[in-house]
Chains A and B, each alone.
Chain A
Amino acid sequence: GQSLEQPSEVTAVEGAIVQINCTYQTSGFYGLSWYQQHDGGAPTFLSYNGLDGLEETGRFSSFLSRSDSYGYLLLQELQMKDSASYFCAVRGGDNTDKLIFGTGTRLQVFP
């Protein structure tokens, strides 16, 4: 089956840069997405990598390397409002139409 592993928790201070890694075991997937979820809310889409390499969207960037089965989300100029859980997700892995989420990383930003 498919699996996506993330660190359970990351801490950082305002203004810093943090990287959240995602390692996966799957094949034949379309791309890797990243979602943010605040406590009590629904996940919201941040970024998508259909191809290997870096995608930049404002303060957030995401990277994918299929040869290394690895991706990451980079958050720059951290703000208090970035404190949330972050999930990676693969679409179409193992030649299915499933969309599977990672274990999630809780980011705490301190003043």
Chain B
Amino acid sequence: NAGVTQTPKFRVLKTGQSMTLLCAQDMNHEYMYWYRQDPGMGLRLIHYSVGEGTTAKGEVPDGYNVSRLKKQNFLLGLESAAPSQTSVYFCASTIPPTQGENTGELFFGEGSRLTVL
């Protein structure tokens, strides 16, 4: 009963390096989201996807790219990491808002803690 799984859970990068965060969900959810959360702050939406092969920009998309090649996976990429991208990254998934008994519930992964030196 995995739910939403994020890998890696911790990572330290040097400025300019690239990396990819993987989010995998086993609940057959159409909608997936990537958020970042800085210390003492709220969650800010980076990118989201409403289905396989589709992605869209959120509130803070600059410096990030995403791909949704398979329904169960949503990848977040940093092409050239910067210290300002040091944060905790959360992935979440849910069903479409018009699908039957939608409760508005997002299912979150445990988070990926990224430090950029």
Contacts and interface: CB of A to CB of B under 8 A. Distances in A.
Interface of A: 1, 30-33, 35, 41-45, 48-50, 87, 89, 91-92, 96-104
B106 A33 contact: yes
Interface of B: 31, 33, 35, 41-45, 48, 50, 56, 58-59, 90, 92, 94, 97, 102-111
B103 A97 contact: no
19 contacts: A32-B104, A35-B106, A41-B110, A42-B108, A43-B90, A45-B107, A48-B103, A89-B106, A91-B97, A97-B48, A97-B56, A98-B48, A98-B56, A98-B59, A99-B92, A100-B45, A101-B35, A103-B41, A104-B42
Nearest to A8: B40
A50 B104 contact: yes
Residue from A31, A41, A43 with most neighbouring chain B CB atoms (10 Å): A43
Contact of B42 (A96, A97, A101): A101
